[in-house]
Homo-oligomer: A and B are copies of this chain.
Amino acid sequence: MTRLCLIAGDGIGREVVQAARQVLEALAVPAEFVEAEAGWETFQRTGNALPEQTLAAVQAANATLFGAVSSPSQRVAGYRSPIVGMRKALDLYACVRPVQTPPLANARAGVNLVVVRENTEGLYSGQETREGDERATAQRIITRQASERIVQWAVQYAQRTGRRKITVVHKANVLRKTCGLFRETALRVLSDAPDLQVEEMLVDNAAYQLARAPERFEVLVTTNLFGDILSDVASVWGGGLGLAASANYGTRTAVFEPVHGSAPDIAGQGIANPLATLSASVLMLEFVGLNSYAERLQTAIQAVLANGPYTPDLAGTATTAEVVQAVIAQF
């Protein structure tokens, strides 16, 4: 039987993962759920934001749904972001964020893009040093192997989903060696995919184009931190961060998450929008091959987006529970 691991995390992470579980159970998804813990509260209690048992549970599961965690705003010795840790420990190398025009009033039509982000290196290398109060250095590491792998992933994704164009985003005019290596590797991989139109774009221009003409993009592929920034810009067109879903695919398992954070300002009020986590759940169900369940959930999400009820982030007054009920009512 399919085993799905649920990691609630902190703040509204708990509320939206709980909401997703209710929805998945109402959908009678043929899967068993295991729960595991991570995040700031876990760190405060155990000294480790990503305990060994959690990593083991994620590895043992077919897929994982991850809520959101809080990060300390001050440096805290020993604390490292568990989502970053998980990506690295489990080699979840492809971070994938689809953005589509939602069935919402005033939504910009014609947006259907996906940001494919390298998820294991770049400025997330974890190699940083600090010399007292004067100077700090971070290593931005780019390898041919990781670049090749992520671009191959993007190519296969494009071909599988019938996309025609890939935009390679870099900053090789300044980062001539690191972005240069990413760029030339990408262009070489893409030269083996003559069915795809290839375009390259500097990251500043890509951010600009995403903010003003998102319909021109199909698949963007880029390095880690650029993908982090660009996918947030892109999410504006999908209805905002309250709706954006993210997949972290590895060779053996995958972790799905809403893009939003733990939102301490609204945590505990029962008004978090569960739809991003439900969209992440759609991606998770597809990943484990439960396609008909994925489709039913996706259809229900679209219906609720079209007709409400809406949580405050979408200018409504509904609670998380009301949105959950409305989704379940669609099944």
Question: A residues touching B (Cβ–Cβ < 8 Å)?
Answer: 71, 73, 75, 81, 84, 123-124, 128-130, 133-145, 171-178, 180-181, 200, 203-205, 207-208, 210-212, 225, 228-233, 235-236, 240-241
Query: Please, how many angstroms separate the alpha-carbon atoms of A128 and B140 in the complex?
Result: 9
B144 touches A134 (CB 8 A): yes
Interface of A is mostly: mixed
B123 touches A133 (CB 8 A): no
CB nearest neighbor in B for A80: B176
CB nearest neighbor in B for A214: B211
Between-chain CB contacts (< 8 Å), 23 pairs: A71-B173, A73-B200, A75-B176, A128-B176, A128-B177, A130-B177, A130-B181, A135-B181, A136-B142, A136-B181, A137-B141, A137-B178, A138-B140, A139-B139, A171-B228, A204-B229, A204-B231, A205-B232, A207-B229, A208-B233, A208-B236, A210-B211, A212-B236
Min Cβ gap A188→B in Å is 10
Q: Which residues of B contact A84 (CB under 8 A)?
A: 174
Min Cβ gap A248→B in Å is 15
Q: Which residues of B contact A142 (CB under 8 A)?
A: 135-138
B173 touches A81 (CB 8 A): yes
CB nearest neighbor in B for A204: B232
B141 touches A140 (CB 8 A): no
Min Cβ gap A92→B in Å is 15
Among A129, A205, A211, A241, which residue has the most Cβ atoms of chain B within 10 A? Answer: A211
